[in-house]
Structure 1
Amino acid sequence: MGKLRNLGRELLLFLIGGMGYFCLELIWRGWSHPAMVLVGGLCFLGVGRINEVLNWNIPLVWQALLGAAIITAIEFISGCILNLWLKLGIWDYSYMPGNLLGQICPLYMALWYLLAFPVIVADDYMRWRICGEEIPHYKLI
């Protein structure tokens, strides 16, 4: 029963993160693609695992930097599959300075860094309030 409960919790967080990112894209770009629910859910789970795997004493600014790296890695892999291989054309950063294959760029990595802060806090808050896990606490620097 414990494994099923853990799977349900992770699925809930995946869906919340995925739908949250989908809605954020609607606000930011005016449209999104259904695949972004999956990409957003993976990013939410990946960033949310940071202080589940690492120590709470890691400053939040470093957690956010690691979160930006996780999101960027997922974005690159997803972009290679969705945009380059499947040719869905969901995003294209080829016009951005410093881009890699048009799938990631420094500007969006900086935006992912800023987005990682509320994602970390939201994940921790939901794990505490909904899942009954440890009360979140942070060290900023």
Structure 2
Amino acid sequence: MGTGMNHFQVYLIMFLTGGFLYCGIEILYRGYSHISMLLAGGLCFMLVGAVENLLGDGASLIGQMIICGLMITGVEFVVGMIVNRQMHLNVWDYSGQQYNLKGQICLLYTNLWILLSCPVIVLHDYMEYILLGSQLPNYKIW
């Protein structure tokens, strides 16, 4: 690791990067965000890396995108059930969307997360490359 940082510092930077990106996407899309989205986004960013590490070099980019999009949707569901249903903070409500589950997730946003996971996967890889000295993967589309 040539950055002079320990692993905790590196992963904290990566967690916060994911969290701020997630909040930024929300602010661009609907004009506001919530602190819970910083935590959810950071967790999702770290889990994207975990998915890549578990799948190994043989995984296709499309396969990773699908798994990551579904994983992000799962995190949104859990966070939504806690923040919106248990804590009654009403951060979001997808009840008006088709194919929603308890107003916390819906098919439209699952598909958007699948698409958005591609640049997130690449960003995560480049951050590990720069901050940890990891090798960049050879991406296979299919």
| Fold conserved between structures, TM > 0.5 | yes
Corresponding residue of 1:63: 64
Could you state the TM-score of these two structures normalised by the residue count of structure 1?
A: 0.93
Corresponding residue of 1:106: 107
- Larger displacement relative to structure 2 (86-95 or 8-17): 8-17
Question: Is 1:41–2:42 an aligned residue pair?
Answer: yes
- How big is the shift at 1:27? 0.7
Q: Relative CO higher for 1 or 2, CA cutoff 8 Å, sep ≥ 6?
A: 2
Question: Is 1:23–2:24 an aligned residue pair?
Answer: yes
In structure 2, runs of 5+ residues without a counterpart are none
What does 1:127-138 correspond to in 2, within 5 Å?
127-138=128-139
CA distance in 1, matches of 2:136, 2:69: 24
Paired residue type of 1:39: A
Paired residue type of 1:73: G
C-alpha offsets along residues 58-93 of structure 1, whole Å, 9 cap, x if unaligned? 110000000011101100000000000001111100
3-state SS, counterpart of residue 39 of structure 1: helix
Count of residue pairs the alignment pairs up: 138
CA distance in 2, matches of 1:49, 1:9: 15
C-alpha offsets along residues 94-115 of structure 1, whole Å, 9 cap, x if unaligned? 1111111100111110001001
CA distance in 1, matches of 2:22, 2:73: 14
CA distance in 1, matches of 2:140, 2:39: 30
CA contact (8 A) 1:47 1:67 kept: yes
CA distance in 2, matches of 1:51, 1:43: 12
Paired residue type of 2:32: W
3-state SS, counterpart of residue 112 of structure 2: helix
Percent identity between the two aligned chains: 42
CA distance in 1, matches of 2:136, 2:67: 21
Question: Is 1:8–2:20 an aligned residue pair?
Answer: no
Corresponding residue of 1:85: 86
